[in-house]
């Protein structure tokens, strides 16, 4: 399958006072289109920095990031904004949904951002929230709020779904249901969707097509999983 994401010798440097710190230090890897990918590593390894670069929320200090044949590191501010809007869906650990909007409004908000949004009502039905359209976030459980977050990301109809510890704030049973939903997103659209999950939970790696391990800002290993487990086969 054709490579969809490629990092080429990417470094991200921060300065703390006079001290230089490489959050990522010359990393390179490739991800084919349509894969369910898990990025593993301890806190401070560089996982979130990688996700921010991939999502266009930050830019590399050096190196190239190729997405679907385009070097996004050469984008200007307007091009990067369009890339984020049209190509990337974000799912965060703590949901980041708006407390003053209803479930439906939280998902419909993407129609003001993207050119070809999907139907908010249809997606909310897909994630099992069709009976909660008029509720506010504080009337939902943690798992339901995460489903709103996922629905909002899917509504953008993105090429890449980026997930930062999407099950970190959930109990194991609810976390499994969220992972099933994310896997379903990856398998939808004729295999065109790519899902990247950043986590420290090694169990999630068992269901991934590819596992990228990061340590101290460098790639420790990249392993293609020829026979990923079904989510129900994993002992959570």
Q: What is the pLDDT of residues 98-133, one digit of tens each?
A: 999 999 999 999 988 888 888 999 989 988 899 999
pTM comes to 0.90
Mean pLDDT of the chain: 91
Tell me what pLDDT residue 112 has.
86
User: Is the distance from CB of 162 to CB of 89 less than 8 angstroms?
Assistant: yes
Whole-angstrom CA distances from 121 to 131, 143, 158, 210 are: 10, 18, 17, 32
Tell me what pLDDT residue 94 has.
81
Task: Give the span between the Cα atoms of 213 and 103, in whole angstroms.
Answer: 35
For the stretch 174-200, pLDDT in tens is 888 888 888 888 876 667 789 999 998
For the stretch 36-58, pLDDT in tens is 999 999 988 999 999 999 999 99
Whether the predicted pLDDT of 80 surpasses 90: yes
Tell me what pLDDT residue 184 has.
85
Confidence of residue 152 (pLDDT cuts 50, 70, 90): very high
Q: What tokens appear for 52 in the block? A: 């921010």
Whether the predicted pLDDT of 151 surpasses 80: yes
For the stretch 18-30, pLDDT in tens is 899 999 999 999 9
Tell me what pLDDT residue 1 has.
61
């Amino acid at each position: 399958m054709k490579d969809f994401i490629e990092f080429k010798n990417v470094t991200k440097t921060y300065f703390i006072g006079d001290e230089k710190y490489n959050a990522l230090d010359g990393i390179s890897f490739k991800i084919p289109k349509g894969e369910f990918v898990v990025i593993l590593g301890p806190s401070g390894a560089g996982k979130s920095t990688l996700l921010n670069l991939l999502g266009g929320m930050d830019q590399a200090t050096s190196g190239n990031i190729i997405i679907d044949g385009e070097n996004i590191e050469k984008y200007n501010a307007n091009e990067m904004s369009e890339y984020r809007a049209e190509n990337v869906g974000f799912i965060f650990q703590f949901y980041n949904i708006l407390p003053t909007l209803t479930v439906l409004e939280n998902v419909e908000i993407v129609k003001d951002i993207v050119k070809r949004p999907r139907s908010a009502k249809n997606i909310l039905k897909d994630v099992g929230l069709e009976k909660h359209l008029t509720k506010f976030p504080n009337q939902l459980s943690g798992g339901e709020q995460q489903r709103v977050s996922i629905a909002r990301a899917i509504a953008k109809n993105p090429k890449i779904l980026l997930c930062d510890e999407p099950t970190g704030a959930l109990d194991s049973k609810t976390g499994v249901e969220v992972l099933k939903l994310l896997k379903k997103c990856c398998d939808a659209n004729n295999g065109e969707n790519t899902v990247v999950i950043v986590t420290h939970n090694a169990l999630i790696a068992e269901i991934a097509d590819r596992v990228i391990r990061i340590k101290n800002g460098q790639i420790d290993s990249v392993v293609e999983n020829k026979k990923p487990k079904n989510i129900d086969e994993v002992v959570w």
